[in-house]
Chain A
Amino acid sequence: MNSKKIVSLIPKVILIVLLLIIINIQLSTTQITGTLEQGFIYSLLALGIFISLRILDIPDLTVDGSFTLGVAVSVMFAYNGHPFLGILLSVVAGALAGMVTGILQTKLNVQPILAGIITLTGLYSVNLHIMDGNPNVSLWKKETIFSFFEEILPENAPVKIIVTGGITLIVIIVVYWFLNTQLGMALRATGDNEYMVRASSINSDRMKIIGFAIANALVAMCGGVIAQYNSAGDANGGTGMLVAGCASIIIGEVFFGKHTIVSCILSSVVGATAYRYVLSLAMSIGMKAIDFKLFSALIVAVAISIPTVKRFVVKTYNRMRDKGGKVNA
C-alpha cells in the first residue's frame, strides 16, 4: 500500500472511530446489538438493490412491493407453523415478482421505471390477498426461525445475532460465488455494456430477467426474515425500502468504493449496518419514526447531488477569483 492510499484512508478511519464513539455513548447495549441484528438483515435488502442498481444499472421500483411480498409469505407460513418454509417461499415469490418486472421491461418494452411501478402496484393487492385481507398479522406465541434456534442453542447464547449474522454470511458467499460464475459474469457485463454482451452471443434480455429475479429474491428474503424477527407483518412495511437500500449502498461506497465485487458487497453490508446505526442514533436524540422516510430520502438526494454541487461551488469560486484578479490589476 502506498503512502497516498494511506493518506486518503485517514478521514474515513476518523469518521468510523467517531461514529463508534458516539454509538457507544448514545446507545445502550441492547440497542447496539439490536441495531446490529437489523443491520445484518437489511444487508440482504442492500445486496438485492446492489444487483439491480449497480450491476444491471437500472433502479428497480419493484423492491418496495417485493419486500412486502416477502413479509406476507413468510408471516403467513409462520402463522400456520412453517417458519422455514415461509422464508424459502418468500425467496421464490420475490424471484417471481422480479421476473415479472424483467419480462415487462425486456419482452414487452415497458420503460424500466414504469415496469417496476406496474409490478409494485399489482403486488399491493397480491400481498393483501396473501395476508387474507388483514393489513397486520402478528406472530405472537408462534414459532419463528428465531424461536426455533432459541430452543436448540444453549441458553444465554446471542441467538438473534447468530441467526441474522449466519444468514447474511451465507448470502454474501453465495452472491460472491454467483457473480464469478459464467452466468454471473454475463450478468455483470449486461449492465456494463449491452452491445458487447449481444456481440458475445449472450441473450441480454434473459440476463436482465435473471438479474431482477435474483435482486428481488434477496429483497423478499430480507422482508421474510424481518417479519419473523419482529414477529409481525405489515402490508405497508415495504414503502421506502428502495430509497433506504440506496442510502445504505451510498453510505457503504463512501468507505469501500465500488471498484471490485468484494468492495461492492462490503459496501452493501457495511452500509446497511451503518445506516441502521445512524437511524438508531437519530431516534435516540429524538427523531420520530414517522420522519424515517424523509430522513432516508434526504440522505439519498444529498449523496447523489454532492458531485454536482461540488462542481458548481468550484466553478463559482474560480469565476469570483478570476473577476477579483482582474479588478485588482
Chain B
Amino acid sequence: MLKLYDVNITFNKNTVNERKALSDFNLNIEKGDFVTVIGSNGAGKSTLMNVVCGTYGVDSGHIYLDDRDITRLKEYQRAKIIGRLFQDPLKGTAPNMTIEENLGLAYGRGKKRTLAFGISKKDIVLFREKLAKLGLGLEDRMKTPVGLLSGGQRQALTLMMATIVTPKLLLLDEHTAALDPKTAGKVMEITDRIVKENNITTLMITHNIQNALDYGNRTIVLSQGRLLMDIKGDDRKNMTTEKLMKLYSSSANDVMTDKMLL
C-alpha cells in the first residue's frame, strides 16, 4: 500500500545546522493498517508525514502509494488520494468560510474545480447527515463561519473533511495534542470510528503512548530519522505502556546525549 524505499532527507545541507531528518528510511504499510507512530522530538515523525504528503521533497529514495510512484508529485496532487490532519486545529479549515462551504471544498477533492455551483442541495443533505454523526450539534450551524468554532469542533470538522471523499491514506499529525483531554478523547473516538467504518489505511503520530497502543494494529518507534522498532501482532498485544515507555525514553535519551555532546 504505502512503501518508502531508502528515503533520505537532510535539512540545512552544507551548513553547521545540517541535520539528517530521515536517513535510509524504509517502511511498508499494508492496506487497512492503522499504524501509530511514536518517538521523541526531532526523531523524524513529522518529517515522515511531510515527506509522504509532499510538503518536503526527498533528497533520494522513492515513495509508492498503491504501486504508483508518487515521489515527484506535488503536495496538491497527492492530496487527491491522501487525507491529512494537522496538529494545529486552525490549519485544517478556512476560518472565514462557513461549515458547508468548507465541506463543499473538501467534497471536491480529486475532482476538477469547475464553474458549477459550489454546493448543491443534495450535498447539503449529505453534509447534515454526516455532521449529525459527529454528535457535536454542528449540523444545525451549517452557515456559521468555521472561525467561530472551538478547536475541538474544528478538528472534528477537519477529520470529516479529510475523509468525506474516502482517501487511500489518512495522515494524522498529533491531531489531538492541542485539545483539552476530554475533547481529545472525543476526537480520538470519532477518528477510530471513521477509520474503522471506511477501512482507511492510517498513519497517526502521537505523544500519548496509551493512545499509541489502544488504537490501531501496529506501532512504530522512530529515533534520529530511523525506524527503531516495529511492533505488531502478538508482540503488540503483550506490550504495556511501561515497557514501551522505557523504549520511548531510551530513544529520547539518544537525542539528549547527542545534544549534550554538541
User: Which of A89-97, A159-167, A185-193 is the interface stretch?
Assistant: A185-193
Interface size on A, residues (CB 8 A): 23
Residues on B with C-beta less than 8 A from A201 are 76-77, 79-80, 109-110
* A203 beta carbon closer than 8 Å to chain B: yes
* B198 beta carbon closer than 8 Å to chain A: no
User: Which of A79-87, A176-184, A308-316 is the interface stretch?
Assistant: A176-184
Residues on A with C-beta less than 8 A from B116 are 181-182
Interface string of B79-109 (1 = CB under 8 A from A): 1100110100011111111000110111011
Given contacts A188-B97, A193-B95, A195-B92, contact A200 B115 (CB under 8 A): no
The closest CB in chain B to the CB of A207 belongs to: B113
- Which of A196, A197, A204 neighbours the largest number of chain B CB atoms within 10 Å of its CB? A196
A326 vs B12: C-alpha distance when bound (angstroms) = 55
Partner of B118, one of A185, A196, A198, A200: A185
The closest CB in chain A to the CB of B112 belongs to: A182
Interface size on B, residues (CB 8 A): 35
Is there an interface contact between B79 and A193, defined as CB atoms closer than 8 Å?
A: no
Shortest CB distance B116–A (Å): 6
Residues on B with C-beta less than 8 A from A198 are 75-76, 79
Residues on A with C-beta less than 8 A from B162 are 199
* A123 beta carbon closer than 8 Å to chain B: no
A193 vs B88: C-alpha distance when bound (angstroms) = 12
The closest CB in chain B to the CB of A205 belongs to: B76
Residues on A with C-beta less than 8 A from B113 are 182-183, 186, 202
A197 vs B80: C-alpha distance when bound (angstroms) = 12
Is there an interface contact between B94 and A186, defined as CB atoms closer than 8 Å?
A: no
Residues on A with C-beta less than 8 A from B77 are 201
Residues on B with C-beta less than 8 A from A197 are 76, 94, 105
A192 vs B90: C-alpha distance when bound (angstroms) = 11
A195 vs B55: C-alpha distance when bound (angstroms) = 10
Shortest CB distance A57–B (Å): 10
* B114 beta carbon closer than 8 Å to chain A: yes
Given contacts A186-B105, A201-B77, A201-B80, contact A196 B115 (CB under 8 A): no
Is there an interface contact between B91 and A193, defined as CB atoms closer than 8 Å?
A: yes
Is there an interface contact between B117 and A180, defined as CB atoms closer than 8 Å?
A: yes
Question: What is the interface of chain B mostly: helix, strand, loop, or mixed?
Answer: loop
Given contacts A181-B115, A193-B94, A195-B91, contact A203 B104 (CB under 8 A): no
Residues on B with C-beta less than 8 A from A189 are 94, 97, 101-102, 105
The closest CB in chain A to the CB of B106 belongs to: A200
Is there an interface contact between B97 and A181, defined as CB atoms closer than 8 Å?
A: no
A192 vs B104: C-alpha distance when bound (angstroms) = 15
Given contacts A193-B91, A195-B92, contact A183 B75 (CB under 8 A): no
- Which of B76, B104, B115 neighbours the largest number of chain A CB atoms within 10 Å of its CB? B76
Interface string of B8-51 (1 = CB under 8 A from A): 00000000000000000000000000000000000000000000
A189 vs B147: C-alpha distance when bound (angstroms) = 13
A319 vs B91: C-alpha distance when bound (angstroms) = 37
- Which of B92, B104, B105 neighbours the largest number of chain A CB atoms within 10 Å of its CB? B105
Is there an interface contact between A199 and B92, defined as CB atoms closer than 8 Å?
A: yes
A182 vs B106: C-alpha distance when bound (angstroms) = 11
Is there an interface contact between B105 and A185, defined as CB atoms closer than 8 Å?
A: yes
Shortest CB distance B104–A (Å): 6
Given contacts A200-B106, A201-B76, contact A183 B114 (CB under 8 A): yes
Shortest CB distance B225–A (Å): 24
Given contacts A195-B92, A198-B75, A199-B79, contact A182 B118 (CB under 8 A): yes
Shortest CB distance B217–A (Å): 25
Is there an interface contact between B76 and A184, defined as CB atoms closer than 8 Å?
A: no
Is there an interface contact between B93 and A193, defined as CB atoms closer than 8 Å?
A: yes
Residues on A with C-beta less than 8 A from B101 are 185, 188-189
Interface string of A192-226 (1 = CB under 8 A from B): 11011111111110000000000000000000000
Q: Other than A178-B115, A182-B104, give 18 A-B pairs with Cβ distance below 8 A.
A: A181-B117, A182-B108, A183-B113, A183-B114, A184-B118, A185-B101, A185-B104, A185-B105, A186-B105, A188-B96, A192-B94, A192-B95, A193-B93, A195-B86, A198-B76, A198-B79, A199-B53, A204-B76
Between-chain CB contacts (< 8 Å), 17 pairs:
A180-B118, A181-B115, A181-B117, A182-B108, A182-B114, A186-B105, A188-B96, A189-B97, A189-B105, A192-B95, A192-B96, A193-B95, A195-B92, A196-B91, A198-B75, A199-B75, A202-B76
Chain B contact residues, CB within 8 Å of chain A: 53, 74-77, 79-80, 83-84, 86, 90-97, 101-102, 104-106, 108-110, 113-118, 145, 161-162
